Amino acid sequence: MAGNEVLTERDGAVLIITLNRPEARNAANRALAEGVAAAIDELEADSDLRVGILTGAGGTFCSGMDLKAFVSGETPTVKGRGFAGLTEYRSSKPLIAAVEGYALAGGFELAITCDLVVAAENSKFGIPEVKRGLAAAAGGLVKLPKQIPSRIAMELALTGEFISAARAYELGLINRVSEAGEALAGAKDLAASIAANGPLAVAASLQVVAGAQDWSTEEMFAKQQELVTPVFTSEDAIEGATAFAEKRAPNWKGK
């Protein structure tokens, strides 16, 4: 269980991870970073958990780095995990960001580290680091050009301006837009759709889609084959086909 800065709650096969510093708009300090890393460890270690949802308390996702802590010499990073204990880590299970309010600077970088994003219609996204004489070095500058057109990524990086949920959806940066206050409910719906599927198939598909952008045309099928071959020879593959033929829900074993 994480500390007070990060709360975890199990909802069936889903682990809900809540950034819990509402008085600071969930700005990341060292304790929050360590709490997120511990929560991700909990998600990874439990085979009954299939999906993680990352959200924020108090109507804000995350406003970025705690600048007061930064000025006093505190760094909100975890070795091997990056900013807020996550931005340099690849979870083996799908992560969904449920965004209300602001996802700015490091908070934006946390959101785009997740595999899927559900955002409230009144939420705002941006990497305003340049306005503070800083750079979006927790993934904003390197991940964003892989997720949206490079010229738009360049504009966001150089101006520091915010974009709306509607614009983020238009750009393909987020998956779904919910009513204000309903982002977590929307993320739970999405998580349920994923958790109903074969866990081995989901894990392999996640790895392939995540890695594909960095694979050359010559190597992509070989790399994919390496990851998906165990899926096709698994007990779950037989169960999936059998359940379909018998018109019933599959009983996944994860093997």
Classify residue 80 by burial, with Cβ atoms within 10 Å: 0-12, 13-18, 19+.
Answer: exposed
Asked if 192 and 14 count as a contact pair (C-beta separation under 8 A), the reply is yes
Per-residue pLDDT band at 138 (split at 50, 70, 90) = very high
Q: What was the pLDDT predicted at 6?
A: 98
**In which residue ranges of the chain is CATH 1.10.12 found?**
199-245
Per-residue pLDDT band at 160 (split at 50, 70, 90) = very high
Q: Is the pLDDT of residue 4 over 70?
A: yes
Q: Could you read off the pLDDT of 242-255 as tens digits, one per residue?
A: 999 999 999 999 99
pLDDT average, residue stretch 213-236 = 96
pLDDT average, residue stretch 130-136 = 93
Say which CATH architecture domain 6-195 belongs to. Alpha-Beta Complex (3.90)
Q: Is the pLDDT of residue 1 over 60?
A: no
Token code pair at residue 203: 């894990």
Task: Please tell me the distance from the alpha carbon of residue 9 to that of residue 237, in angstroms, as a whole number.
Answer: 30
Q: Could you read off the pLDDT of 78-91 as tens digits, one per residue?
A: 999 999 999 999 99
User: 199-245 belongs to which CATH class?
Assistant: mainly alpha
pLDDT average, residue stretch 149-170 = 98
Q: Is 23 a catalytic residue?
A: no
* Catalytic-role residue among 23, 42, 129, 182: 129
Q: What was the pLDDT predicted at 67?
A: 83
Task: Residue 183: name the closest of 70, 75, 103, 110 by CA.
Answer: 103
Q: Could you read off the pLDDT of 26-79 as tens digits, one per residue?
A: 999 999 999 999 999 999 999 999 999 999 999 999 999 998 888 888 889 999
Q: Is the pTM of this model over 0.85?
A: yes
Q: Is 129 a catalytic residue?
A: yes
Mean pLDDT over the full length of the chain: 96
Asked if 117 and 173 count as a contact pair (C-beta separation under 8 A), the reply is yes
DSSP letter (8 states) at residue 92: S
Q: Could you read off the pLDDT of 201-219 as tens digits, one per residue?
A: 999 999 999 999 999 999 9
Query: 3-state DSSP call for residue 241?
Result: helix
Q: What was the pLDDT predicted at 65?
A: 93
Query: 3-state DSSP call for residue 15?
Result: strand
* Catalytic-role residue among 109, 182, 218, 219: 109
Q: Which residues pair with 99 in a beta bridge?
A: 119
Asked if 28 and 65 count as a contact pair (C-beta separation under 8 A), the reply is yes
**In which residue ranges of the chain is CATH 3.90.226.10 found?**
6-195
Task: Please tell me the distance from the alpha carbon of residue 74 to that of residue 121, in angstroms, as a whole number.
Answer: 34
Q: What was the pLDDT predicted at 228?
A: 97
Q: What was the pLDDT predicted at 3?
A: 55
